[in-house]
A and B are shown apart, each in its own frame.
Chain A
Amino acid sequence: MKHTLTPQRYLILLAVTLTAPFGDALLTRGMRDIGAVDLHHLGLLWHALFNPYIDLGIVLLIGFFASYMTALSWADLSFVMPATAFGYCVVALLGRFWLHEQLSVYRWAGILLIVCAVGFVANGPALTEHPELNRMDSGAAR
């Protein structure tokens, strides 16, 4: 099993962690300019694509997608997902201090619990070993 990650791979996980919450926050800021979208006015979603906040959010989310796929090529899905949990804290801080949303004590506690759970999981190995695949690989190498 791969227990350790190189500094470059930690940087990729950091990119996954930061780009998603900043991208989501920018999308929210842009959607506030667009207004509420309902089933009868889905065309507003097209207009949203011309909002600079939405565009920057999309760029960040593309960066997230690229770094996320890179991480999935050398780690389990159930490892990568929790390893990005710090994003929850970033979202909460952005919501509170940039978008001026109210966060109750319960929500802070919920976010803290999720981060604890995620840190708990991320302590394990990054990749599941599949013995049958390894046997096939070593057999092919011979």
Chain B
Amino acid sequence: MIALHTSELRAWSCIVAVAALAIAGECFIAAAMRSVGDLDDIRAQSGMGGAIRAVLTSPLFLIGATCMALNFFAMLFTLSAVNLSLAAPASASLTYVGNAVAAKFFLHENVDRRRWLAVLCVCGGVYLLHK
């Protein structure tokens, strides 16, 4: 019984760590892409090389990419211990909830009532995934 709880705690700790790294990475990358501008326009003006250079020279992108790289190895570690059908949707759902909060307060996006309601639905979905 205790071993079962320990393994469950370990699984959910892994999932939460994956989600936290993804939220940080995606927020930094979203902020970077907002500061860079529309990549379609940049590619039309400066070509693919110009678009890649614009992205890679953004410090916010480099921080975000580092978080995403850590997220990748955390996901590898998690997938060795947890079923894909639980780990992937659960970490992605937690990431979605965290992103909605971060988008509202850090990226100043218009996260309206409809989007908050959707966050509650996602929480319900995560609960059902765990059940």
Contacts and interface: CB of A to CB of B under 8 A. Distances in A.
B131 to A, nearest CB: 4
A24 interface: yes
Contacts of A21: 88
Interface in B43-81: 55, 68, 72-73, 75-77, 79-81
Contact of A88 (B72, B89, B117): B89
Contacts of B122: 113-114, 117-118
A27 B129 contact: no
Contacts of A4: none
Contacts of B83: 95, 101
A70 B96 contact: no
Interface residues of A: mostly helix, strand, loop or mixed? helix
A76 B79 contact: no
A73 B33 contact: yes
Interface string A72-106: 11101110011000011001101110010101101
Q: Which of B26, B72, B96, B99 has most A Cβ within 10 Å?
A: B96
A52 interface: no
Contacts of B85: 91-92, 95-96, 99, 101, 103, 107
Given A88-B89, A92-B89, 9 more contacts: A21-B88, A27-B76, A35-B80, A78-B115, A81-B95, A91-B89, A110-B131, A116-B121, A117-B119
Interface of A: 21, 24-25, 27-28, 31, 34-37, 45, 48, 61, 65, 68-70, 72-74, 76-78, 81-82, 87-88, 91-92, 94-96, 99, 101, 103-104, 106-107, 109-114, 116-118, 120-121, 123-125, 128-130
11 contacts: A28-B84, A37-B77, A37-B80, A45-B77, A65-B68, A78-B115, A92-B85, A96-B85, A101-B85, A120-B117, A124-B114
